[in-house]
Chains A and B, each alone.
Chain A
Amino acid sequence: MKSADQLGSATIGQGMNRMSGFLKFGSFLALLFFPALAMAAGGAETQAMSVEYRDVPGIGSRNLIWIVAQQHLLLAGFVLGVPIFAWVCEVVGWKTKEPRYDKLAKEFTKLLTSAYATTALFGGILLFLLIGLYPKLMAYLTDMFFPSFLVYCLLFLLETATLYMYWYGWDYMQGNKKTFHLFLGFLLNLFALGIMAVPNSWATFQASPVVLGEGDAWARAWMAMQNPTWMPVNIHRLIANVVLGGFIVGAYAGIRYLLAVSREEREHYDWMGYVGNFIGVFGMLPLPFAGYWLMREVYQYNQQMGITLMGGFLAWLFILQAMLIGVLFLGANYYFWMGITYRIPGSENQYKKPVMAMLIVLLLCLGIWMTPHSLVASLAEAQKMGGTHHPLLGVFGVMSAKMTVSNIMILVTFMSFIMYWRAGKQETAGWAKAAKAIMGGLLVIAGIAVVVLGVWGYFVPAIIRINYFSVAQVLIVLFIMITFTPLTAVLMKSAKTTTEMVWGKMPIRAGYSLVLNAVMVILLMSLMGYARSSSRVHWHIYGVMRDTSEYAYSPALGYAAAFMSLNTFVFCLIVAFIFWVATLGDKAKAQPPRGSTVGIPGHSAPAMAGGAPRAGEKLE
């Protein structure tokens, strides 16, 4: 099924066991206490199996699986991303004694209970559909991974129990018990990590199966799990889930901001949008590195698969990906720049020129990122051009150029944040001037070093470039981020506020830019799911089990894009429903009376707070 397993298999894994907790608990007990019975039944079933595929009239089995699997995957990303977001907010609230962070964390944890059930519901539907529509593949995977199913069930039980304690114990575990509550949040994320990693192994095995050695069922399942793309996908998805969580929170805040009728609401959702965007952006910064590692593993595992993705029939997909990422970077930076203009009045003139320069750099980088290595051209066009590599722009198509521009885009985005942080403040420390000069110097050196390494990369063997130059570029950017953040924090601690942060004054296009960022992330996740599944071409399990169904071929890009848009729309509707249901109870509560204190994060709050008005400050 490039078909089912196509997009589905990306999620076969995750879908497989996301039945309701109750059903799983029953299955788990049955398997635990009657293993012999379960195995025997499995054996008989395999023998009796004669149907390889079933179809669904009209929509087709692949399309149905595609929709359900995509919904399940996106919801799973949401359910795994939001706890990270909530926990980070809770930790920040605990450290800074800012109650609004705790409130924000609780507000989003509340969503988890309904989102969790919806995710499990789609997981259950996906599982039933896969068993029914692709029985042969499912029998094979079950045979290979059965022990990991048990581990998955156990993790799901632990996750469910921890979530209940985390959510229902929120108010109870305040004060002295707060640290235990934070520990529960940590456990929640730890189990969630396992819940993500185990099914990832099923899906990645389909793309990069390994030759299994001798051993019992557990040993063989473990060998199959440790396939070459498992860990890169784990890391990539973990980071992507943080990004998804952050930007969905941002989009929620953006929509509520657009619909807000009172000033208090606007202030609250403006701030929430800022926090969501902040976390989304910070998750986004290391994402290209993780993607690079994944592609490197793909190439090392199977050169043909890498070529299919980057230079074969899917090559244009990466142009589309570059556009989406470019728009996402532009959207995220734009939101920061608007924050400088509208939340910190008077700062816009100070930063107008740097903003213009940053925008030009971002656009140039985007242009290079979307330049393909070999241009898809007809024979006549290629002859005119002198080959499939363009004589001038062909140099931008290689990884050396891509890595360089992605690092620069990350640097620019980081600097947008630093600018936002510093806007409206005057440093008072005696060493501030020297510190700023050092930071400026370091930034210039870092920029030059990244470009020099990128250019030098053309003249050294690929192995040197990949193992040393690309790593050095990443380390340079990380060094800037790691040194600038605490240095700026120390500078801002003693800084004098020249312009107070004003919340709720952002123009409505700020709300739309938050929605845009979320849509871009969802489309990106859908696109990458399509890429990863299509890279297996007509295999259920690459090189091992062929897809012999009528849907074995890869759908064309335009058709796939329409499906991705549909999936994104459906997902947004589901999330909107979840938010609506979860906030039904709040609607009954009265709005805070005018003149009451609001818990907007304080002046001394960390970067994430965005330098808000002092806590307890009265709103007029």
Chain B
Amino acid sequence: MAKQSFAKSILKKTTVGIVVGVILVVAAQATHFPPVFQIMFFLYAMLGSLVFILLDAPPMNRLEGVKAVGALVVFYLLLSGLYIAGASILPQFDPEDEKGKIEKVLKLRRAQTELGKADELIARAKQLDERAKAITKQLSSLGADAKVEVASTTSAAGGGAASGDLVALGKEQWELQECYNCHKLYGQGGKKRGPEMDNIGNLMTFEQLKEKIIDPKSWKAEGFDKDYEKGKMPDKYKDLMFPQEIDALVAFLVTLKDTSVNTPKPIKMN
């Protein structure tokens, strides 16, 4: 009798569970949930109905000895199987993505030849910069102010292949070193611990920025006294980055000249 009543209870609760599950799936489909969520909603409804069934289940016969131990092991395997299956059904991130990023980070360290390339780029950028300055000076002396800008633009464009690569390398360093955690740039990233950087190129020179990265205590951003006192900017980069990587990062930073952003004024400290 009790068994019959329990069988009825199972049937009733399973039916309710399935109905609720189907309603959830239909609602999820209608509101454009990804399929994995639709499956999860259904399983969630079934979990609920399982607990309801167990609530009224009559006592089972006791198992003894090896059978009892075997039942325990089966129970564990069932839990384990559900857990692994659940974790595997969920979308998996691809470890290869992270491997790719790691490889990028370690490339310089693994292949010293890459360093030579960066050196070469820096040297070329400096050379072009000096050449541009010389042309600007020459044009100024001739009174052709209007053409100065053109000349310097031409100069920058002429060096594009080299300095552009360096700036791109620097931008990559910005990402890899996760500077955005503390500094906002292009409207993205944090700004609680460090100043926004969009206009830093107008406020600091190449050498000053480099000094700040190597020795964070050498400069302080206006309004960031507490963060400066607490040493929020880590002094790890001189150990963590190759000099060429720091140069590339700085080369990227000096290009940031968006005057519409109020980047705090840097103050020389020591």
A and B held together in a complex: yes
Interface residues in chain A, defined as those with a beta carbon under 8 Å from any beta carbon in chain B: 211, 213, 255, 258-259, 261, 302-304, 313-314, 316, 319-320, 323-324, 330, 334, 337, 342, 355, 359, 363, 366-367, 370, 375-378, 381, 384-386, 390-393, 507-509, 512, 515-516, 519, 523, 537-538, 543-544, 546-548, 552-558, 560-562, 564-565, 568-569, 572
Interface: B72 (CB within 8 A): yes
Given contacts A213-B231, A565-B80, contact A508 B62 (CB under 8 A): yes
B234 contacts A211, CB within 8 Å? yes
What is the chain B residue whose CB lies nearest that of A378? Answer: B34
Q: Name the B residues within 8 Å of A508 (CB-CB).
A: 59-60, 62-63
What is the chain A residue whose CB lies nearest that of B239? Answer: A544
Inter-chain CA distance A247–B22, complex, in Å, is 36
Q: Which residue of A385, A393, A537 contacts B98 across the interface (Cβ within 8 Å)?
A: A537
What is the chain A residue whose CB lies nearest that of B97? Answer: A313
Chain B min CB distance to A297 (Å): 14
Lowest 6 CB-CB distances: which A-B pairs, in order?
Answer: A561-B87, A558-B88, A507-B59, A313-B93, A565-B80, A384-B32
Chain B min CB distance to A164 (Å): 34
Interface residues of B in 180-225 (CB under 8 A from A): 180-181, 190
A391 contacts B31, CB within 8 Å? yes
What is the chain A residue whose CB lies nearest that of B44? Answer: A367
Q: Name the A residues within 8 Å of B106 (CB-CB).
A: 546, 548
Q: Which residue of A314, A359, A390, A547 contacts B31 across the interface (Cβ within 8 Å)?
A: A390
**Known contacts A363-B48, A375-B33, A556-B92; can you find 9 more A-B pairs with CB under 8 A?**
A259-B69, A320-B87, A390-B31, A391-B31, A393-B33, A512-B75, A554-B93, A557-B92, A565-B84
Digit string of B26-56 for contact with A (CB within 8 Å is 1, else 0)? Answer: 0000011110010010001001100110110
Interface residues in chain B, defined as those with a beta carbon under 8 Å from any beta carbon in chain A: 31-34, 37, 40, 44, 47-48, 51-52, 54-55, 57-60, 62-65, 68-69, 71-72, 75-76, 79-80, 83-84, 86-88, 90-99, 101-102, 105-106, 109, 178, 180-181, 190, 231-232, 234-236, 240
Q: Name the A residues within 8 Å of B235 (CB-CB).
A: 211
Inter-chain CA distance A213–B94, complex, in Å, is 39
B55 contacts A561, CB within 8 Å? no
A543 contacts B236, CB within 8 Å? yes
Q: Name the B residues within 8 Å of A537 (CB-CB).
A: 98
Given contacts A378-B34, A508-B63, contact A303 B190 (CB under 8 A): yes
Given contacts A320-B90, A515-B72, contact A555 B95 (CB under 8 A): yes
B95 contacts A556, CB within 8 Å? yes
Q: Which residue of A385, A509, A512, A565 contacts B32 across the interface (Cβ within 8 Å)?
A: A385
Given contacts A320-B90, A543-B178, A565-B80, contact A261 B64 (CB under 8 A): yes
Chain B min CB distance to A11 (Å): 22
Provide a sorted-by-A list of 22 A–B residue pairs whose CB atoms are within 8 angstroms.
A211-B231, A258-B72, A304-B180, A316-B90, A319-B40, A330-B51, A334-B55, A376-B34, A377-B34, A509-B57, A543-B236, A544-B234, A553-B99, A553-B102, A554-B95, A554-B98, A556-B95, A557-B87, A557-B93, A558-B88, A558-B90, A565-B84
Chief secondary structure at chain A's binding surface: helix
Given contacts A320-B90, A363-B51, A515-B72, contact A544 B60 (CB under 8 A): no
B52 contacts A359, CB within 8 Å? yes
B57 contacts A558, CB within 8 Å? no
B63 contacts A258, CB within 8 Å? yes
B236 contacts A562, CB within 8 Å? no
Chain A min CB distance to B76 (Å): 7
Inter-chain CA distance A314–B92, complex, in Å, is 9
A538 contacts B34, CB within 8 Å? no
What is the chain B residue whose CB lies nearest that of A258? Answer: B68
Inter-chain CA distance A386–B33, complex, in Å, is 10
B60 contacts A509, CB within 8 Å? yes
Inter-chain CA distance A572–B92, complex, in Å, is 28
B178 contacts A359, CB within 8 Å? no
What is the chain B residue whose CB lies nearest that of A300? Answer: B192
B34 contacts A359, CB within 8 Å? no
Q: Name the A residues within 8 Å of B54 (CB-CB).
A: 334, 509
